[in-house]
Amino acid sequence: MNTKGLVMKIRRHYFMLRRSYPHITDGVSLDVTTSELAETLDCTHRNMVLLLKRMVQEGWIEWSPKRGRGNRSTLTFLAPVEKLILDEAKELVLRGDLQPALTMIQQHPSGHGLQEQFQEWLTSQFGFHTEVEGNRRMDMLRFPLPGTINSLDPARIHYFGESHLVNQMFDSLVRMDERGETTLPHLAHAWEVNDDRTEWTFYLRKGVLFHHGRQMVASDVMYSLERLRRLAPNGLYSWVYNDIVSMVTPDDTTIRIKLKERNEIFLSFLSTNRASIVPQDVAVSEGERFGEAGGSPVGTGPFRLISSEQGIWTLEAFPSYFQGRAFLDRVEIWTMPITVDRADEPISELQKFQVMHNVRISDMAGGAWQQVRQSGTTCKFLTVNELKEGPLTNPDIRAALDKAISRTKLLRLLSGDVIEAASSFWLHGKSGDKHVESLGADHSEERSEVINSEDCNVEGLTLTLTTIPQYASDASMIKQLLAEQGINLDINLLAAEQFKGSARMSSDLLLFAVMLDEHRELRLIDLYKSMQQHLPKHLGDELESTLGRILSEKDARNRVKLFIGIEQQLVQRISLLFLYRKHLKTAFHPSVQGISLESLGWVRFRDLWFR
């Protein structure tokens, strides 16, 4: 055992001793025999003597032994347990055991003080580091990621953090520009479509390699789409890939995809990471393990996964990437719970890592940091389950509910410089979306007309709301606002992968968010198809008809008008209640070069380099 390992082992014996005498404060002597201590630690008398000697050497205790039967020695604890817990957690992190370190800190009863000290030290470990391995210089970025990663399988991801890492490791046939207006070549260098726009032919780049060294061929593309349909028949954008009638591969660089009916957003779907191309041989051999910790999520992307242990996911630059090797050699993503950087808890001190997401720039000291405001936003909203028998089948009650949720108070509770009022999924006004600004997407006046109708008595009303755990704080704020109006709200939390299922249909209200980025059309169609499950049949049928018109409409501006028509109808009947919009910001240190952002505000690691 090395010296550090030995110290950690002895430190844990100290923790056991300290827990055995909780009533003894540091610096106060305790009369005890060596035999009693050995019994406490369940070790031999000889080992106890050695442990005491080493603890004295470390300066953790004072020990005054007294010889002779019946004579009791004197033990004095000197080292505060909090300090040794902190030292232990630091050493665990430096060994790569992040999750055990976090658990140790969180479970200690000393509370926020210890957590804040650990967080301050932990942030000093993030950022750009250069290491030398033999004669090779390694440029590495350590990157914090709130939450956990359950999977890096494109067919199974549910969270933004997972989505971001999949973008670093996988590629799709095409890609969209950040405004979502132009489809660009990627794994496919060209494509064509027949006259009725139901048959798409894609021509693949030659020589594109997967991380395990095999060349990508058309059969991998066909397998990836078939696999997506098999693994996620009701998943995100399933209404697109479930409409694929057939696929053929005339040769290794050509794939022809036939759709059930015309879909003008099909190319947009093929640019999402959900449609990432995976290698058939690895995906078959790995099975359920593909994408999980310990598995092999192999793609064609600029980075490949080399390890995923104890909450640290390590990516290494893929030297054969078809668009050129990344500047960085390695990226370590440390997954952890959020202890700072919350919407209601602004950062008060300058963090020590070079790239930060979703931060309050105005609170940072010195003005040394620069910021990028992403092109996309997150919009939070409520939808009403009109199929559930209860008070919300009455439109007047829905109007009173909408009024009870004071948006002014809600924004005050959120209190962030990246928070805005929301009245539409189509950005407008100061948000600068000139593409739709003139199309009348702001419904604030419409909602006011409804709200100003004769009020209903809602005091004493009890409603249920379902959302995912990530939005629990939003649900709590809605509960608080409704309680002020005498409305009781019961909150039910469902995991994201279960949220689209039938369990949510027992609730009166659903709280969710949609990302308004370059895939806004796809995301909104997905939302509206989900809403069809809890709308009256005549309205659901009408919605389905309009969505069909959207999918067959080639002109993007006309599609926007149809989308806004759906939105207006849902807002007017108060089936859709907008809450707020949030712009995520990324801050970066001036030493970081090559900053370019995906629409979600995440940095593309391939472009980063450091002075």
3-state secondary structure 82-130: HHHHHHHHHHHHHCCCHHHHHHHHHHCCCCHHHHHHHHHHHHHCCEEEE
Of 121-125, 312-316, 411-415, 518-522, where does mean pLDDT reach its minimum? Answer: 121-125
CA angle 274, 179, 218 (to 5 degrees): 35
The band of 372, judged by pLDDT with boundaries at 50, 70 and 90, is very low
Q: What is the DSSP letter of 499?
A: T
pLDDT, residue 310, reads: 77
Which range of 30-34, 129-133, 461-465 scores highest in mean pLDDT? It is 461-465
The band of 346, judged by pLDDT with boundaries at 50, 70 and 90, is very low
Average pLDDT, the chain: 82
Flag whether pLDDT at 200 surpasses 80: yes
Q: Is the CB of residue 490 less than 8 Å from the CB of residue 462?
A: yes
Of 7-16, 34-43, 214-223, 331-340, where does mean pLDDT reach its minimum? Answer: 331-340
d(CA 177, CA 266): 15
577 backbone dihedrals φ, ψ, rounded to 5°: -120, 110
* Joined tokens for residue 568: 């207006």
Flag whether pLDDT at 606 surpasses 80: no
pLDDT, residue 344, reads: 31
Residue spans of the domains in the chain: they are: 1-79, 82-125, 149-310, 377-582
pLDDT, residue 179, reads: 66
- CATH classification of 377-582 is 3.65.10.10, yes or no? no
The band of 522, judged by pLDDT with boundaries at 50, 70 and 90, is very high
Protein fold of 149-310: Dipeptide-binding Protein; domain 1 (3.90.76)
Of 290-304, 312-326, 338-352, 425-439, where does mean pLDDT reach its minimum? Answer: 338-352
- pLDDT for 51-67, tens place per residue? 999 999 989 999 998 87
The band of 453, judged by pLDDT with boundaries at 50, 70 and 90, is very low
pLDDT, residue 123, reads: 66
Q: Which helix (H) or strand (E) holds 564?
A: helix 556-572
Q: Which of 134, 136, 220, 104 is nearest to 170 (CA)?
A: 220
d(CA 397, CA 220): 53
What percentage of the chain has pLDDT greater than the value 90?
49
pLDDT, residue 308, reads: 86
Q: Which of 319, 331, 327 is nearest to 355 (CA)?
A: 331
pLDDT, residue 423, reads: 92
pLDDT, residue 532, reads: 93
Number of other residues whose CB lies within 10 A of the CB of residue 106: 13
Of 88-102, 159-173, 230-244, 246-260, where does mean pLDDT reach its minimum? Answer: 88-102
**Which residues are registered as beta bridge partners of 463?**
489
Longest dimension (CA), the chain: 102
pLDDT, residue 369, reads: 42
Q: Is the CB of residue 227 less than 8 Å from the CB of residue 278?
A: yes
Of 197 and 363, the structure prediction assigns the larger pLDDT to 197
Between β-strands 462-467 and 488-493, what pairing exists: parallel, antiparallel or unpaired?
A: parallel
- Indicate the length of the chain as a whole number: 611
**Which residues are registered as beta bridge partners of 378?**
515, 582
pLDDT, residue 498, reads: 77
pTM for the structure as a whole: 0.74
Type of residue found at 602: W
Residue 172's contacts (CB-CB under 8 Å, 6 or more residues apart) are 186, 187, 270, 271, 272, 273, 275, 276, 277
Of 100-109, 170-179, 397-406, 469-478, where does mean pLDDT reach its minimum? Answer: 100-109
- pLDDT for 539-590, tens place per residue? 999 999 999 999 999 999 999 999 999 999 999 999 999 999 987 655 554 4
pLDDT, residue 352, reads: 31
pLDDT, residue 595, reads: 39
Flag whether pLDDT at 356 surpasses 50: no
1-79: CATH class: mainly alpha
- pLDDT for 272-311, tens place per residue? 999 999 999 999 999 989 988 777 899 999 999 998 887 8
pLDDT, residue 609, reads: 59
Type of residue found at 245: V
Q: Which of 341, 329, 279 is nearest to 303 (CA)?
A: 329
